[in-house]
Structure 1
């Protein structure tokens, strides 16, 4: 087990000499054990990640300029001429930002260095190249530069001022409903679809219900996704406000022992919208044969029917008998199951099944909600809500590399999430081969010579540029308001 210790930046400096001598990978035995656990799921090997490959990635491919411009929130960043004359890139939104590094000075020992901050892009770049961190985390913008936090008297004076609203969804939290054979850190194409479902629900809710526009999604590098909501209104949210937004999306999805899902009739509009998004994907990616198969074989559909409310046991008995003799598809079974339930509660005029007019109100509500609850149990976002609640919570930096897979934490286009394949995300070994084999025209950034070009370039075009234009427009409107107040037109 890796031994982790947390240190401040000052403490971390004491380790630099040892770290420079300790740039080695995990022991052969540890690496072989890790490979045997994951090779069928992630393709991880020593050729995908090593300390040496990571150092090359930082020195040649890591988009320091892109990260710096983003976290500076400089409205002139979309205009190269204005940017050259702008001082906003040195604003407190960057210089007061907390970064943390996880370094491995010796094999098997990780040191977690918090409260680092940097005066500019060059300062950040130099620190990363010097320490070659296995992981970079990003935190809040503080009242003072985090590196000076020990000199600030009292935590009341050293406090977070702003931070993106962030969300973390991890497939480990779906272990109770994954029927593809994966659990823990293992993933496959079948269960990865659940991340696309979560992303679509969250993205639409954040945009339509809260009015946020500048939302960036990233692959975590292994088994999950992260969202960064970067609108100023989101960055200025208090901890209470963040908790309220996160709780808005939270639904009690039940457990293995308690299958009850915490929803009620009438459905809240956001849950009704989520159900419309999720049910088609539930039918396509959860119930069929070759997927999670919960309506594709008798053992699994029996397990599902056992979760019906007590008031619908007659439906269970009839369908178990019927399905044991027919060859209907999973989608047809789902439609038939819902039809039987609607007849049971009097929502259908179909005469094929006798209605139970004596069903009480409580049972009727449970039966009516069961199809929605079942869709939600398998598909609704399972948030690590603690990540979202507090300004000073750290989250892995976009564009860094997951050491267990060697894959880059690339941006994900939410509008095209169904086509995103985590197994096609480039690894460090692949990227270095692409650099060595490049034989094209000169480019501005070395990452343009690799398979990172599409995702990094799309992030610039579809996220950063629109965000910078929004910032510029807001700056202009604020200037006009001030001019109206002072009469300085």
Structure 2
């Protein structure tokens, strides 16, 4: 595993956020926008990038990467799909009226603005940010941008997309790309992101496959969050890491520290390589073959993962019960004599559990079944096996390029109807993806609350996370409840607000320190 980058080497390049924000043109002024395939070869200097490297692929089976027709943004709703033609793009699983009600009453537009804007006053951090919208007929609109939270909210409600993705901050407004000469519009900032998908565990999970999940296999995501979150904090010093449920079978990480947002692509590739471990997609050959002594990151990860291997791999999944995985386990052990003894023992007990088979390795090794057994090599092999069956399986391509688009937090997954909610890594063991609220459930909760409280205490516009007086006021007093506060979405939005408050506090500290350095003539550390 390459360890070509150290935490001390991850330094931000020069600052790019001092330019003046131009007004974003209205939707009616926007020219024809090509779907995803055409947009992949764009005027932003990224024409050589493969399409599959630019998008969150958690839902590739539900969202085709291209559309057969061009799409025009207009003031009217998007055209209805051709229901007579089964090959035409079909509407998503959540109906348009339900989706519209969600955007109007529940989606936290202002908080999302504050998160991406890094403050409450509009800045290029938000105004020059690309949004990509998937419309209800699966047409795809790229390079959308918004100067303010209100313009963002109004356009999303007007277009009523089935979901939208977040891209990088560009050096200029991405809506102006057609007026730019080649190379003038460049990505200058983007959160460092990671994507974990349970389909990448299909060769080792026995309970589910493809898009299906249960609490047993969700444990693999729990393990991954623990390992990656710990490495990002302890090895690279990042603090503001937001984990988000993908809505069905995975999780995304958004590393939001300013230092992370400003990383160039070569540093992103180096960090992805540092965290990547599982090699190869076939059953043959070792996927983990680490040098000894173990790198501190691997040693720490092994300590985190050992209990999960015992519970998830051996017990819940019973991974080595079947003959195929049992043979796979034997192929990863280093001694032929021990392997032959184990194969004979397991052949005489075909129903032997994975826990017992794992214990058999040590028990037979101690009996001297092999005169050539190297106990140190056996220990190393067992550690590699634990890592192969538990270590995070990242889609590293998502992390390597600043221009990659990733699904926004709090959108609706059209296949499940669930909200893509944040996951608190401090409480990740208790996160249950199957209990995440669906959009229909949330709208029903609002109706039920309103029926029980007929006083007219209806929702209001979202408040700024920095307004502590409003934050502390109660439902009986100075303000009306927002609709999300009437639902099971409330704890997720509250966590999002607290995450943003912490991020904005650090942003202000960094800006103040840089101002003081400028005033006093101070210098920053030399970069090489």
Same topology, TM > 0.5: yes
Q: Where does residue 117 of structure 2 map in the other structure? A: 72
Residue by residue over 1:233-258, the C-alpha shift from the partner in whole angstroms, topping out at 9 and shown as x without a partner, is: 10010000000001101113442133
Q: 1:479: Cα distance to partner?
A: 2.3
Match of 1:245 in 2: 271
Q: Which runs of 5+ in 1 are unaligned?
A: 35-44, 78-88, 344-351
Q: Does 2:483 align with 1:446?
A: yes
Give the secondary structure class of the aligned counterpart of 1:59. Answer: helix
* Distance of aligned partners of 1:298 and 1:101 in 2 relative to their CA distance in 1, 3 Å threshold: closer
SS of structure 2 residue aligned to 1:267: coil
- Within 5 Å, give how 1:90-489 maps onto structure 2: 90-105=122-137, 110-154=138-182, 156-180=183-207, 182-254=208-280, 255-288=282-315, 291-295=316-320, 297=321, 299=323, 302-309=326-333, 311-322=334-345, 324=348, 330-331=354-355, 333-338=357-362, 340=364, 352-354=366-368, 358=372, 367-438=378-449, 439=452, 441=475, 443-461=480-498, 463-485=499-521
Q: Secondary structure, in 3 states, of the residue corresponding to 1:407? A: coil
8 A contact 2:191–2:254 mirrored in 1: yes
Q: Cα distance, 1:187 vs. partner?
A: 1.4
8 Å CA contact retained: 1:7, 1:114:
no
Q: Which runs of 5+ in 2 are unaligned?
A: 1-61, 454-474, 523-528
Aligned length: 431
The CA deviation at 1:330 is 4.7
Greater share of helix: 1
| Deviation digits for residues 313-332 of structure 1 (CA, Å, limit 9, x no counterpart) | 32233334556569987545
3-state SS of 1:225 partner: strand
Name the CA distance, whole Å, in 1 between partners of 2:426 and 2:283.
33
TM-score by length of 1: 0.81
Corresponding residue of 1:86? none
User: How many angstroms does 1:476 deviate by?
Assistant: 2.1
State the distance in 2 between where 1:326 and 1:153 align: 68
Question: Among 100, 103, 106, which residue is 1:61 paired with?
Answer: 106
The offset of 1:365, in angstroms, is 6.8
1:467 is displaced (CA, Å) by 1.3
Q: Distance in 1 between matches of 2:491 and 2:240?
A: 20
CA deviations over 1:460-487 (Å, ceiling 9, x no partner): 22x122212211222222222222129x
CA RMSD of aligned residues (A): 3.0
- Measure the CA separation in 1 of the matches of 2:325 and 2:419: 39
Where 2:135 maps in the other structure, the secondary structure is strand
| TM-superposition CA deviations, 1:288-324 (whole Å, max 9, x none) | 1xx21125x4647733543233x42322333345565
What whole-Å deviation, never above 9, does each CA across 1:115-144 have from its counterpart, x for those lacking one?
A: 111010011111100110111000000000
In 1: Cα distance, 2:219 partner to 2:85 partner: 34
